Amino acid sequence: MSEPQRYHPLFELTISRVKEFIREPEALFWVFFFPVLLAVALGLAFREKGPDKIPVGIVAASEADPVAAKTAAALASSPVLFPRRYSAAAGREGLRTGRISLLVEPGPPVVFRFDETRPDSRIARLEAGEALQRAAGRQDVVPVRAEKVTEKGARYIDFLIPGLLGMNLMGTGIWSLAFSVTSARNRRVLKRLVATPMRKSHYLLSQILGRLGFLIPELVILVGAGWLFFGVAVRGSLLLLTITSLLGTMTFCGLGLLIASRVSTIEGASGLANLVMLPMWLLSGVFFSSERFPDAVQPFVNALPLTALNQALRGIITEGRGLVAIAPQLAIVLAWGLVSFAVALKIFRWR
Amino acid sequence: MSPERSDTAVRCTGLVKRYADVVAVNGLDLEVCRGECFGLLGPNGAGKTTTIEILEGLTEPDAGEVEILGTSWQRNGRDLRERLGISLQETQLNEKLTVGETVRLFRSFYRRGRDPEAVLTRLSLEEKRNARVGKLSGGQKQRLAVACALVGDPEVLFLDEPTTGLDPQSRLQLWQQIMDFRATGGTVLLTTHYMDEAERLCDRVAIVDHGQVIALGTPAELISSLHAANVIEFASEPEMDEASLRTLPGVTEPHRRGPNWSLPVGSLAETVPILLGLVERSGAKLVNLSTHRATLEDLFVSLTGRALRED
């Protein structure tokens, strides 16, 4: 029989995996469009609106109380205060329930009632004092000029984009491996493959290479969308970002392989995948900083692969850090990947 | 290499495989010569699939020896894989790939092999080259499974129920492929529960039941071991009893087949008139009567008292 072409099994397996993936429209949605939709939705929900005004109450004897009206006008000149007039009882009630942050009883002497433990109350007290003194004719002795700064990189969307990228790398890495391998076992495709001289390592490697093929478009789409819609720029090196994402993807492919190493049903695999991913969605600083968790659990949280990956991605994207600065996080990610692969290969069931 | 070894393609002795609550294979011996088409015939659950998967090196036996092409899975597993073509029972292939991509993928696993295009053409799949596997009919899927088994240019072809569930035309097409492979010197080991398949295709047949070989030989030898070249099937109203049927000349083993009595006989000309007389004398009315040449199915029924296919 003629042999017009050379066929390399690893190449053919990888191409097959890629084709299998792009012929699955649902998978394309989850990998490429879902994270962008999520970023846009969250970015709109948490967009910067400028600081809210602080509600302040003024005690007025009646609707037409002239002293109260004068005080209210003075307070309204402050950009951060929102004054309203109340009866003495309603004012105290409002203060107690937190509807207003400060209650002003016009004087003389002017009385400020507030809860000293509330930061907004303290700001209101200072602002109200300033506004009343100025209205009464006080002159500043030292000239001051305020310059307002909105630092890009400090907004919520700046925090969110690297987290979403990390979450997406985890989700697609774990799902693509766990689903594809489990369904191949479930439908006895694996068994048919091991009945050929195919090298098992080629099969497993092709699963990972097939996944890596989608990394670049995925990165471009998500980082591109962040830049286009929200002006989230990558401050660090794009090469380092790519390498870090590559490492993260391989690690989560390893975890996916571990999840799929023995289960034979899709239900079993998705249960395990959720068990692995759910804690990391919450703990690993995707939507909010993992530093909000108590100190006692920080070592555990920081040792999770997604926490380490997110810290590394944030370091590169928002802080412009270099390889040396994120090396500890990369080491954690790498360690998870190596251990997962080693265990998965050891316990993998081919039939 | 001794001449005897080179003549044997597949040999196993004392094969045993137990699962939690059943003994699937119970001390099974088999020898398949090079260049022959050998059939394992038996009902569902007889242990055919377990046996062939042990021979294919996919299942570990609990006891027994397996020798394939003069070597064993332990000694030369990877090398053996290069020389065998395998089609599993109800083979599932990746449904998202096309027919052409699937055959090309399987070709890539073998160091030497056939041109994927040529294999597709031989199995009349060239027009389906760009069709997704998931969209194929049962017959096309089965032909593709055989194409994947052939593309590595194997010395031995293992086929587990290759035509189960296929329409008559697809079966004939597949039979032709199997006969062509054997005609070019290939060895075939197949399992089936269709007696006509075993009779048409196989040089030798082992009848398997409860994990053991209960009869072995060429289809002609097996059928002649019935000592009855023909079978009469009939039903009457009311039914005849077994004892009176045993009095008929040439009838030794009457047995039930559904509503009918089945009587293996040597000569129809001798037995049929006497049977008709017997029915009439007993006052019963004949509901139907038919005759056919004895088949492996009749042998199986006479050996086990059960039909090959309980349906």
Query: CATH number of the domain that B256 lies in?
Result: 3.30.70
- Chain A residue with CA closest to B107: the answer is A7
Looking at the complex, report in whole angstroms how far the Cα of residue B171 sits from the nearest Cα belonging to chain A: 22
A291-323: burial string, b at 16+ Cβ within 10 Å, e else: eebeeeeeeebbebbbbbbbbbbbbbbbeebee
pLDDT confidence tier of residue B48, bands split at 50, 70 and 90: very high
* Contact pairs from chain A to chain B, CB under 8 Å: 77
- Which one has a higher pLDDT value, A248 or B164? A248
What is the average per-residue pLDDT within B206-216? Answer: 92
Selected residue of B52, B54, B80, B92 to mutate for chain A interface (largest A Cβ count, 10 A)? B92
| Contact: A19, B111; criterion CB under 8 Å | no
B193 and B43 Cβ atoms separated by less than 8 Å: yes
Q: Would you give the end-to-end CA distance of chain B in angstroms?
A: 48
Strand order in the sheet with B204-209: B84-87, B156-160, B187-192, B37-41, B204-209, B212-217
Q: Would you give the end-to-end CA distance of chain A in angstroms?
A: 32
Residue B81 sits at the chain A interface (C-beta within 8 Å): yes
Nearest by Cα to A171 from A43, A311, A25, A270? A270
Q: What is the model's pLDDT at position A84? A: 86
Are residues B193 and B214 both part of a single domain?
Answer: yes
Q: What is the model's pLDDT at position A149? A: 65
Looking at the complex, report in whole angstroms how far the Cα of residue A246 sits from the nearest Cα belonging to chain B: 26
Residue B128 sits at the chain A interface (C-beta within 8 Å): no
What is the reported pTM?
0.78
Per DSSP bridges, beta strands B204-209 and B37-41 are parallel
Q: What is the model's pLDDT at position B30? A: 94
- Chain B residue with CA closest to A3: the answer is B115
User: CA B192, CA B208: separation in Å to the nearest integer?
Assistant: 10
B268 pLDDT more than 60: yes
The total number of structural domains in chain B stands at: 2
B153 interaction partners in chain A (CB closer than 8 Å): 1
- pLDDT tens for A97-126 read 888 889 998 877 888 999 888 888 888 898
- Chain B residue with CA closest to A14: the answer is B105
Which residues, other chains included, contact B217 with Cβ-Cβ below 8 Å and sequence gap of 6+? Answer: B204, B205, B225
pLDDT confidence tier of residue A50, bands split at 50, 70 and 90: low
- Which one has a higher pLDDT value, B113 or B1? B113
What is the enclosing helix (H) or strand (E) of B300? helix B296-304
pLDDT confidence tier of residue B5, bands split at 50, 70 and 90: very low
Nearest by Cα to B268 from B303, B240, B228? B228
| Contact: B112, A3; criterion CB under 8 Å | yes
Amino acid identity of residue B220, one-letter, is A
Q: Where does a domain end: B174, B193, B218?
A: B218
Q: What is the model's pLDDT at position B39? A: 95
User: CA A292, CA A119: separation in Å to the nearest integer?
Assistant: 19
pLDDT confidence tier of residue A71, bands split at 50, 70 and 90: confident
A153 pLDDT more than 80: no
What is the average per-residue pLDDT within A76-81? Answer: 84
Give me the residue spans of the domains in chain A: 9-46+153-347, 54-135
Q: Which fold has domain A54-135?
A: abc type-2 transporter like fold (3.40.1710)
Looking at the complex, report in whole angstroms how far the Cα of residue B88 sits from the nearest Cα belonging to chain A: 7
A91 and A59 Cβ atoms separated by less than 8 Å: yes
Tabulate helix, strand, coil % of chain A (nearest 5).
Answer: 65, 5, 30
| Contact: A198, B109; criterion CB under 8 Å | yes
Q: What is the model's pLDDT at position B3? A: 41
What CA–CA distances, in Å, run from B190 to B161, B187, B223? 7, 10, 19
B181 interaction partners in chain A (CB closer than 8 Å): none
Q: Where does a domain end: B218, B249, B272?
A: B218
Residue B106 sits at the chain A interface (C-beta within 8 Å): yes
Are residues B170 and B283 both part of a single domain?
Answer: no
- Which one has a higher pLDDT value, B99 or A136? B99
What is the average per-residue pLDDT within A245-271? Answer: 94
B14 pLDDT more than 70: yes
Nearest by Cα to B296 from B236, B226, B238? B226
pLDDT confidence tier of residue B167, bands split at 50, 70 and 90: confident
Q: What is the model's pLDDT at position A51? A: 58
pLDDT confidence tier of residue A256, bands split at 50, 70 and 90: very high
| Contact: A197, B115; criterion CB under 8 Å | no
If DSSP codes are grouped into helix, strand and coil, which group holds residue B233?
strand
Least confident range of A21-30, B172-181, B200-209, B234-243: A21-30
Residue B298 domain-assigned (yes or no): no
Q: Which residues pair with B237 in a beta bridge?
A: B285
Question: What is the average pLDDT score of chain A?
Answer: 87
B110 interaction partners in chain A (CB closer than 8 Å): 196-197
User: CA B264, CA B233: separation in Å to the nearest integer?
Assistant: 9
Please count the other Cβ atoms lying within 10 Å of the Cβ belonging to residue A130: 17
Are residues B109 and B247 both part of a single domain?
Answer: no
What is the average per-residue pLDDT within B107-128? Answer: 92
Segments forming the whole domain that contains residue B238: 227-293
Work out the percent of chain B whose per-residue pLDDT is above 70.
96
Q: Which residues pair with B15 in a beta bridge?
A: B28
* Cis peptide bond N-terminal to A108, omega within 30: yes
A209 pLDDT more than 70: yes
| Contact: A8, B108; criterion CB under 8 Å | yes
Quote the tokens at residue B111: 């160091």
- pLDDT tens for A214-239 read 888 888 888 988 888 888 889 999 99
Residue B97 sits at the chain A interface (C-beta within 8 Å): yes
Residue B311 domain-assigned (yes or no): no
Q: What is the model's pLDDT at position A1? A: 43
Across the interface, of A3, A24, A193, the residue whose CB is closest to B96 is A24
Residue B308 domain-assigned (yes or no): no
Q: How far is CA A191 from the centre of its chain?
A: 40
| Contact: B113, A19; criterion CB under 8 Å | no
What is the enclosing helix (H) or strand (E) of B70? none
Are residues B247 and B176 both part of a single domain?
Answer: no
A54 pLDDT more than 70: yes
Across the interface, of A8, A188, A196, the residue whose CB is closest to B81 is A196
Residue in the block written with tokens 């009918």 = B260
Q: What is the model's pLDDT at position B6? A: 62
Q: What is the model's pLDDT at position A3? A: 47
pLDDT confidence tier of residue B250, bands split at 50, 70 and 90: confident
What is the average per-residue pLDDT within B243-247? Answer: 87
User: CA A234, CA A318: separation in Å to the nearest integer?
Assistant: 6
| Contact: B104, A351; criterion CB under 8 Å | no
Looking at the complex, report in whole angstroms how far the Cα of residue A210 sits from the nearest Cα belonging to chain B: 14
* Cis peptide bond N-terminal to A83, omega within 30: no
- Chain B residue with CA closest to A184: the answer is B94
The domain that holds B21 is classified in CATH as: 3.40.50.300
Q: What is the model's pLDDT at position A63? A: 78
If DSSP codes are grouped into helix, strand and coil, which group holds residue A108?
coil
Per DSSP bridges, beta strands B63-68 and B8-18 are antiparallel
B2 pLDDT more than 70: no
A2 pLDDT more than 60: no
A258 pLDDT more than 90: yes
Chain B 37-76, residues with CB within 8 Å of chain A CB atoms: 56-58
| Contact: B105, A13; criterion CB under 8 Å | yes
Are residues B234 and B198 both part of a single domain?
Answer: no
B4 pLDDT more than 50: no
What is the average per-residue pLDDT within B242-257? Answer: 84
| DSSP class per residue in A282-349 | HHTTSSS-GGGS-GGGHHHHHHSHHHHHHHHHHHHHTT---HHHHHHHHHHHHHHHHHHHHHHHHH--
A147 pLDDT more than 60: yes
Q: Where does a domain end: B164, B198, B218?
A: B218
Looking at the complex, report in whole angstroms how far the Cα of residue A212 sits from the nearest Cα belonging to chain B: 19
Least confident range of A77-91, A307-321, B29-43, B211-225: A77-91
Are residues B266 and B140 both part of a single domain?
Answer: no
User: CA A310, CA A303: separation in Å to the nearest integer?
Assistant: 12
pLDDT confidence tier of residue B300, bands split at 50, 70 and 90: confident
Q: What is the model's pLDDT at position A48? A: 62
Are residues B157 and B179 both part of a single domain?
Answer: yes
Question: What is the average pLDDT score of chain B?
Answer: 89
Which residues, other chains included, contact B27 with Cβ-Cβ below 8 Å and sequence gap of 6+? Answer: B14, B15, B16, B64, B211, B212
Residue B307 domain-assigned (yes or no): no
| Contact: B94, A196; criterion CB under 8 Å | no
| Contact: B118, A13; criterion CB under 8 Å | no
Amino acid identity of residue B40, one-letter, is L
Residue B281 domain-assigned (yes or no): yes
Give the residue numbers in A contacting B (CB under 8 Å), as ranges: 1-4, 7-9, 11-13, 16, 19-20, 23-24, 184, 187-189, 191-198, 351
Residue B304 domain-assigned (yes or no): no
